[in-house]
Each structure stands twice: as C-alpha cells, then as structure tokens.
Amino acid sequence: MPFQYLLTNLLVDVAGAHGAIFLDWEGEAVEYVTRQATPYELKLEGAYQGIFLRRLDKLTEQLGNGAVLSLTLSGRHLKVMGRMLKSGYYLLLLMDPGTPLSLAGRAMNRTADALNREIV
C-alpha cells in the first residue's frame, strides 16, 4: 500500500488534522500530506518530534520502563501525536488542540499497523 494513501486516509479519518508525516530513523521525511501546514513546517516539526521520541525512549529504557510507543504534546494552538514504528521509523499527526485524543489515537493505530506491514 502506498504511503501517500495511508497518510491521506489518516487525515480524512481525523477531523481537525492539519498534516501527517512518516519519517525515518534520521528524522527525514519519507512521505507527508498536509492541509494547513507548509511542507517545511511539517518536516521541521517531524524532525524535532523525532528527537523528543528518541530521548524519551532512551530515558524510559534506562529506567527499566520499556520502550515508548507514542507521545502526545498539546499546546494552545496545536496538538501533535507521535507514534513509533518498527526499524526506527515514526509517524506524526498534527491537529487542532480540540481534536479528541481517542479518535486520533485509533486512527494513528490503524495507520501505524499498516505502515509497519509495509516497512521491510
């Protein structure tokens, strides 16, 4: 299944989503779709969120709490949900702050499962 298709479906499934981006272990965009954010903003947000996810993952591993699966940051103007994938890849969804986390979380899980099946 093409990555563009999966990310587009994620945006369709989550009302209030601004953009979705699929990144590799170095924080480089593999594919992205956007409604409101510019490609530059989406890629920059993706790279920084990757740093947060990796540092948090390293910290939880050192504390013996296991690997991080996801991270959600909420701000006044933006909510960002990140999801770790296999082989160091990760997925981000940028959305309105009022977007329900339960809806976004279910859509992210479906997309993450599909992406994990595609990652070699």
- Give residue-wise pLDDT tens across range 34-67: 998 888 989 999 999 989 888 998 999 999 998 8
CATH number at residue 71: 3.30.450.30
Domain count across the chain: 1
Domain that holds residue 27: 3-118
Element (H, E) at 11: helix 3-13
CB atoms within 10 A of CB 45: 19
Q: What is the pTM of this model?
A: 0.91
How is 24-91 classified by DSSP, letter by letter?
A: -TTS-EEEEEESSS-HHHHHHHHHHHHHHHHHHHHHHHHTT-----EEEEE-SS-EEEEEE-GGG-EE
**Residues of the chain falling short of pLDDT 50:** none
| pLDDT number for residue 120 | 82
